[in-house]
C-alpha cells in the first residue's frame, strides 16, 4: 500500500490558483522531495496533505485512508513557519505535543527521556523554550515531530537556520526513520540537500507539476552531460573537439558541456594525445541546473502563450 496518494488536488484563494491538478504517490521508506521556487505552491500542497486546509477538488489518502482525522496520528509535520509556546518547559511541551498525537503518557515520558539523551540535551528538559536559541528550539520541535514514530514525516525546510553539525544530526535521524519504513516528504529550495537525500522528486512551479519521478531518471532524461577535466598542457583540443558544445576554463579545471549524443570516450582520447590527464569525470547535470532550466523554460513558455 502506498503511504500517501494524492490525486488531482486543487486549491484556489479567490482568483489565485495556488495548486492546480497535482497528483503524486509516496512509497514506504521513500524520501520524497517537493521542490520549487518561492510561492510555487509547496506549502499549500503540504497543508492539504496535512488536512490543515481542505482541497477544492481531488483526494488525499494516507495508508489508503481518506478519512483524515483518523490518520493525523500517523503523520509528523514540521512546518516551515514554526514556533513553540515560549513560556512552556521543553519537557511539558513535548508531552503536550505527544498528547496531541494520542501517545499514551507512559510511552511519551519514556520517549522524551530517550530522545533528549540521544541528542545530548537532557539538561534542557526543565528549561523554558524562550531560554533556548533558535536552533535549539528547532531541534526540540523536530523531536516533537518524530517521537510518536510517524509513518509519514513531512518536513518543510527542516535545515533552515541549523548549523552543519545539527543538520547532520537531523539527517541521520531521517535516514534511520526511513530504514524503519517511514516515508519522508521533504520540501526545500536548497537543491544540494534535496539531491543528497531524495529518492524521488516533485518539482512544482506556479501550482503545477513540472517534473516528477525518480531522481536518477530525471537526471538521465534531462539535459546533456557535462565533463570535468583536470589536465596539464594545452587546451587546444577543447576548441577543436567535435564532442564539445561549449566549455568554461576555471584555471584549475575545465568544465565542458557535451553535444547531444556525444561520445565522452572519444573526447578522453583526444585529450590524452597531447596532455597529461589528472582527472576526467562525467557529470550528470545537478538538480540545481535542472531546477533552474525547468523553471525558466516553464516561465518563458507561459509568458509567450
Sole window of 77-85, 209-217, 233-241, 244-252 interacting with another protein (rule: CB under 8 A):
77-85
Least distance to another protein, CB of residue 19, Å = 14
d(CA 85, CA 93): 8
Least distance to another protein, CB of residue 172, Å = 23
Least distance to another protein, CB of residue 102, Å = 6
d(CA 53, CA 51): 5
- Based on the shown chain and the rule CB under 8 A, indicate whether residue 107 belongs to the binding site for another protein: no
Least distance to another protein, CB of residue 97, Å = 8
Residue 269's Cβ-side half-sphere holds a number of Cα atoms within 13 Å equal to 6
**Residues in 136-165 at the binding interface with another protein, rule: CB under 8 A:** 141, 144, 154
Q: Copy the grid coordinates of residue 121.
A: 540535551
Sole window of 59-67, 91-99, 201-209, 269-277 interacting with another protein (rule: CB under 8 A):
91-99
Least distance to another protein, CB of residue 76, Å = 8
Least distance to another protein, CB of residue 230, Å = 47
d(CA 252, CA 178): 39
d(CA 16, CA 235): 53
Nearer to another protein, 170 or 294 (CB): 170
Contact, 127 vs 86, CB < 8 A? Answer: no
**For residue 260, how many other CB atoms are within 10 A of its CB?**
7
3-class DSSP state for residue 43?
Answer: helix
Task: Write the CB contacts of 75 (distance below 8 Å, at least 6 apart in sequence).
Answer: 50, 62, 150, 151, 152, 153, 154
Residue 152: closest CA among 185, 187, 176: 185
The pattern of x and - marking residues 38 through 67 that bind another protein according to CB under 8 A reads: ---------x--x-xxx-x-----------
Least distance to another protein, CB of residue 130, Å = 10
Residues in the chain, total? 305
- Distances in Å between the Cα of 204 and the Cα atoms of 38, 95, 184, 211 are 10, 36, 17, 7
Nearer to another protein, 51 or 286 (CB): 51
Sole window of 26-34, 100-108, 208-216, 219-227 interacting with another protein (rule: CB under 8 A):
100-108
d(CA 223, CA 101): 44
Tell me the number of residues near another protein by CB under 8 A.
Answer: 32
Nearer to another protein, 88 or 169 (CB): 88
Nearer to another protein, 88 or 228 (CB): 88
Residues at the site binding another protein, with contacts judged by CB under 8 A? 47, 50, 52-54, 56, 69-70, 72-73, 75-79, 81-88, 96-97, 99-102, 141, 144, 154
Amino acid at each position: 500500500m502506498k503511504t500517501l496518494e494524492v490525486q488531482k488536488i486543487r486549491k484556489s484563494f479567490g482568483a489565485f490558483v495556488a495548486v492546480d491538478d497535482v497528483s503524486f504517490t509516496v512509497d514506504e521508506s521513500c524520501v520524497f522531495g517537493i521542490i520549487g521556487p518561492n510561492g510555487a505552491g509547496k506549502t499549500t500542497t503540504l497543508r492539504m496533505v496535512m488536512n490543515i486546509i481542505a482541497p477544492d477538488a481531488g483526494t488525499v489518502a494516507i495508508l489508503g485512508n481518506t478519512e483524515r482525522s483518523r490518520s493525523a496520528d500517523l503523520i509528523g509535520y514540521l512546518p516551515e513557519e514554526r514556533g513553540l509556546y515560549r513560556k512552556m518547559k521543553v519537557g511539558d511541551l513535548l508531552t503536550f505535543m505527544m498528547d496531541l498525537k494520542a501517545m499514551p503518557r507512559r510511552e511519551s515520558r519514556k520517549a522524551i527521556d530517550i530522545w533528549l539523551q540521544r541528542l545530548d540535551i537532557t539538561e534542557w528538559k526543565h528549561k523554558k523554550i524562550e531560554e533556548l536559541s533558535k536552533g535549539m528550539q528547532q531541534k526540540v520541535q523536530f523531536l516533537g515531530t518524530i517521537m510518536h514514530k510517524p509513518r509519514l514525516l513531512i518536513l518543510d525546510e527542516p535545515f533552515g537556520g541549523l548549523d552543519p553539525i545539527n543538520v547532520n544530526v537531523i539527517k541521520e535521524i531521517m535516514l534511520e526513520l526511513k530504514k524503519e519504513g517511514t516515508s519522508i516528504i521533504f520540501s526545500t529550495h536548497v537543491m544540494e540537500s534535496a539531491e543528497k537525500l531524495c529518492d524521488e522528486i516533485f518539482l512544482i512551479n506556479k501550482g503545477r507539476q513540472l517534473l516528477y519521478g525518480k531522481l536518477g531518471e530525471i537526471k538521465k532524461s534531462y539535459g546533456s552531460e557535462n565533463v570535468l577535466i583536470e589536465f596539464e598542457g594545452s587546451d587546444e583540443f577543447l576548441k577543436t573537439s567535435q564532442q564539445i558544445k561549449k566549455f568554461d576554463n576555471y584555471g584549475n579545471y575545465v568544465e565542458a558541456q557535451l553535444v547531444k549524443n556525444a561520445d565522452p570516450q572519444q573526447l578522453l582520447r583526444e585529450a590524452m594525445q597531447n596532455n597529461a590527464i589528472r582527472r576526467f569525470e562525467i557529470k550528470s547535470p545537478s538538480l540545481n541546473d535542472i531546477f533552474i532550466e525547468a523553471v525558466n523554460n516553464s516561465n518563458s513558455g507561459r509568458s509567450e502563450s
